Structure 1
């Protein structure tokens, strides 16, 4: 009897919790064209939200894998904390390259700027985030207005949260790795050093960048550590006191898996960053 009562309480509490969030699935933000495929996003909003801060999350997966549905938990948890959260899909390698992924990400942000008020969010409080390859794309569109210029709109991003981001200095990384042409990360980034530089956020930093919150795991991939350290040094030229969270025991996957735990203190840090 006690076991059945406990199960009932858990189910009841879960149901109450779910009622606090509204979900809107598979909204088309990118229509198919000659250069890009149709892509969709999911929106998670707090009940009765109005003018709430908005967060776009871009998934990782080495630029060639990943799916928005994996991260529904993140949308739900941020929405419970008062943030209208958008989880997007984007074109993947090998069919598409990084420039197309960044343009799609900018299009998702533009969709938010045009439509997010319908979901209780504020178009003037848009933030972007991503893990791994998604962190790279979030950083790239935050500091390089090129992709918004291609859409003929202004960059509305108010800040970026980079969660163990990859590729922040992809030019340096690919030069060090010296992959055979057409292999490994050269597929999404091409064999062109000019493209490597163009798609490396480190080379687009300036005083007009939105604020950045940079998170790094102490046991992450060596390439992530090295490129993030290079990025941090360059960022300090424009922001002497960068916002930085170092988690010494976290591995690369652990940096995103930790968000499953709702009371995790990193939520508080991100909400504080967005509030500032």
Structure 2
């Protein structure tokens, strides 16, 4: 990892008419929620940051559920920056939850991963109220959120400790995630316990053999998270016998790779299509079993 795991407000020129002062605000304001059912600030835990928003097609019933986890170096970021993600995935037919989580340094690892597990437990138990099927869960994360997503799904104690039933989470997507690096050499060290050992903490180090399929998306022009993180995660999944798809998206930066999840910005690259292809494939595979 080369620099901090940037939050989306640092989004720069996208080749579209986004204002320089607040590009994410402009993008979200340009995202129409017409025809969707949106519910804000649902509490999945006791901390003020333990809240999520749900985006669902109107009249949805028994839809698969996607949990999206934002980036921001584990010490910043908000679900409110990712309206465009909730809208994009809901338009594709998925009930989509976009979550906040407790932030470092007050809450270092593993608190934010535990929060992801708690959110999945809440969705397992409550998604039906919003048109979702709590037995068909997927997790998508970007940057630091990709670390959280992959770690919570691929490391068995997190889900089992939270009470998430085996087989409920059917797949995970990591977008530009820092899965294997020495955090002690970067400002992000405050997101991990003092004296913590990367060899004991990184997601590559504890992958359960029965983890669901993983999709790893790497930005071809990422100057923030070294693409070697994706290569190392791919090798670890392969060694554990876990199904995976590894895709490098050419020309995309650390920020544009998540911006391309927006339906308005698919011209930037193939992020949205790759995510939907993965989700649709897993759903079709499960339906055929």
Alignment of 1:74 onto 2:77:
no
Give the Cα separation in 2 of the matches to 1:200 and 1:228: 12
Equivalent residue for 1:31, pick from 39, 46, 52: 46
Could you say which residue in structure 2 is the equivalent of 1:250? Answer: 252
Alpha-carbon distance change, 153 to 235 in structure 1, aligned in 2, over 3 angstroms: closer
Structure showing greater Rg: 1
Q: How far is 1:153 from its partner? A: 4.0
Tell me, which stretches of 5 or more residues in structure 2 are unaligned? 1-28, 282-289
Equivalent residue for 2:104, pick from 93, 99, 124: 93
Tell me, which stretches of 5 or more residues in structure 1 are unaligned? 1-13
Q: Is the 8 A contact 2:212 2:243 kept in 1?
A: no
Could you say which residue in structure 1 is the equivalent of 2:193? Answer: 190
> For residues 247-276 of structure 1, what are the alpha-carbon distances to aligned partners after superposition, in whole Å with 9 as ceiling and x for unaligned?
121110111111223473433332221122
Q: Secondary structure at the match of 2:261?
A: helix
State the TM-score, normalizing by the size of structure 2. Answer: 0.79
Could you say which residue in structure 1 is the equivalent of 2:204? Answer: 202
Alpha-carbon distance change, 240 to 210 in structure 1, aligned in 2, over 3 angstroms: closer
Equivalent residue for 1:107, pick from 118, 138, 141: 118
Q: Is the 8 A contact 1:75 1:86 kept in 2?
A: yes
Could you say which residue in structure 2 is the equivalent of 1:215? Answer: 217
User: Relative contact order (alpha carbons < 8 A, sep ≥ 6): 1 or 2 greater?
Assistant: 2
Give the Cα separation in 1 of the matches to 2:243 and 2:114: 30
Alpha-carbon distance change, 252 to 38 in structure 1, aligned in 2, over 3 angstroms: closer
Aligned residues: CA RMSD? 2.2
For residues 121-270 of structure 1, the aligned pairs below 5 Å read 121-155=132-166, 156-166=168-178, 168-170=179-181, 173-174=182-183, 179=185, 184-194=187-197, 196-221=198-223, 223-239=225-241, 242-262=244-264, 264=266, 265-270=270-275
Alignment of 1:18 onto 2:30:
no
State the TM-score, normalizing by the size of structure 1. Answer: 0.83
Q: Secondary structure at the match of 1:23?
A: strand
For residues 57-72 of structure 1, the aligned pairs below 5 Å read 57-72=68-83
Paired positions, count: 248
Give the Cα separation in 1 of the matches to 2:170 and 2:122: 15
Q: Secondary structure at the match of 2:187?
A: coil
Q: Secondary structure at the match of 1:98?
A: coil
Q: How far is 1:198 from its partner? A: 3.7
Structure 1 runs (4+) deviating above 4 angstroms are none
Give the Cα separation in 1 of the matches to 2:253 and 2:116: 26
Bigger helix share: 1
